[in-house]
């Protein structure tokens, strides 16, 4: 699979650049508006997680690689921080009242809910989170 | 994100346009927190021009709502729609916040 790639320093300010890159790839692929929106939220959540946790003591980089696999848009987000599978985090309780709601824990939940498939692997010293969004809605066509 | 605030009766109407994300949420949180520190306890947030929100944005909204609840105040959200509404619904925030179809409707429930 051929990937369009971008690398940047894992700092939240770079979100705008990341967003433009991924949004541009999604447009070239022809992802519909709703899925494109979900993709951009999922990308922000993955990126912010890396900015917050991957490099506690030093500056580090993040790579975004967009590709096409048949009818699916694929995005791999990778870092070379300590091994960490973000998918092991539990989902938040989304039914609690305002005062009981925890501030946080929603990011990974959004990644799961707004993509069609998400998987983690550790490869060559890198954490790789693979997000897949299919062109058509699951269960239709 | 662009943000404006104005006073309408006893309420502060906060208009946010553009993106409420990890970069811009701190600005929202600071503006509203400063107003709360200044004694304001009733807020209506107008989402009409907002086209993107992430968990960082929701977190900012939750922080201010918790502060207000602790002070006996309130915050209502007007014009939450489209994909932004979908994010609210997935997170469960759509049912814990008070939502109105317009700023006028939100203000009417307050006065």
Is residue A39 within 8 A of residue A25, CB to CB? The reply is no
Report yes or no on B111 lying in a domain.
Answer: no
For B77-106, how does the pLDDT look when each residue is reduced to its tens digit (9 = 90+)? 999 999 999 999 999 888 889 999 999 999
- Residues of chain A with Cβ-Cβ distance to B55 below 8 Å are 41, 45, 48, 104, 106-107, 109-110
Q: Which residues in chain A have their CB less than 8 angstroms from residue B92's CB?
A: 94-96, 101
With an 8 Å Cβ cutoff, are B59 and A104 in contact?
A: yes
Taking 60 as the threshold, does the pLDDT of residue A118 lie above it?
yes
Tell me the per-residue pLDDT of A51-100, one tens digit each, with 9 for 90 and over: 999 998 899 999 999 999 999 999 999 999 999 998 988 888 888 887 78
What is the token pair recorded at A122? 């550790």
Number of domains in chain A: 1
Identify the burial level of B9 via C-beta atoms within 10 angstroms of its C-beta, where 0-12 means exposed, 13-18 middle and 19 or more buried: exposed
Structural domain containing residue B67: 2-105
User: Which residues span the domain enclosing A74?
Assistant: 4-134
From A108, which residue of chain B is nearest by alpha-carbon distance?
A: B55
> How many domains are there within chain B?
1
Instruction: Evaluate whether residue A141 is within a structural domain.
Output: no
Does A140 reside within a domain?
no
How far A78 CA lies from chain B's nearest CA (Å)? Answer: 19
How many CB atoms neighbour CB A27 within 10 A?
10
State residue A141's pLDDT score.
Answer: 41
pLDDT tens by residue, A12-62: 999 999 999 999 999 999 999 999 999 999 999 999 999 999 998 899 999
A49 within some domain: yes
- Closest CB to A45 among B23, B54, B83: B54
Mean residue pLDDT across chain B: 96
Q: What is the CATH number of the domain that holds A129?
A: 3.30.565.10
Q: What is the pLDDT of residue A93?
A: 85
The more confidently predicted of residues A123 and A105 is A123
| ipTM of the complex, rounded to two decimals | 0.92
- CATH number of the domain bearing residue B33: 3.30.750.24
**Within a domain: residue B110?**
no
What's the pTM? 0.92
Nearest CA in chain A to B84: A37
């Amino acid at each position: 699979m051929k990937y369009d790639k971008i690398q940047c320093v894992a700092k939240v300010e770079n979100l705008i650049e990341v967003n433009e890159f991924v949004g541009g790839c999604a447009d070239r692929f022809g992802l519909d508006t709703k899925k494109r929106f979900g993709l951009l939220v999922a990308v922000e959540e993955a990126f912010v997680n890396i900015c917050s946790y991957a490099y506690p003591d030093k500056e580090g980089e993040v790579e975004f690689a967009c590709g096409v696999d048949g009818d699916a848009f694929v995005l791999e987000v990778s870092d070379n921080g300590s091994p960490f599978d973000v998918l092991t985090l539990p989902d938040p309780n989304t039914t609690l009242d305002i005062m009981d709601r925890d501030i946080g824990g929603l990011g990974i939940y959004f990644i799961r809910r707004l993509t069609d498939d998400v998987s983690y692997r550790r490869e060559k010293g890198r954490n790789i989170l693979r997000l897949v969004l299919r062109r058509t809605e699951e269960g239709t066509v | 994100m662009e943000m404006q605030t104005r006073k309408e009766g006893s309420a502060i109407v906060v208009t946010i346009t553009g993106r409420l994300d990890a970069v811009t949420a701190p600005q929202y949180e600071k503006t509203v927190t400063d107003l709360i520190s200044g004694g304001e306890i009733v807020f209506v947030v107008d989402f009409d021009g907002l086209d993107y929100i992430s968990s960082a944005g929701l977190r900012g909204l939750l922080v201010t709502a918790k502060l207000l609840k602790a002070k006996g105040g309130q915050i209502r959200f007007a014009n939450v729609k489209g994909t932004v509404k979908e994010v609210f619904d997935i997170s469960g925030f759509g049912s814990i916040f008070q939502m109105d179809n317009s700023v006028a409707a939100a203000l009417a429930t307050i006065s």
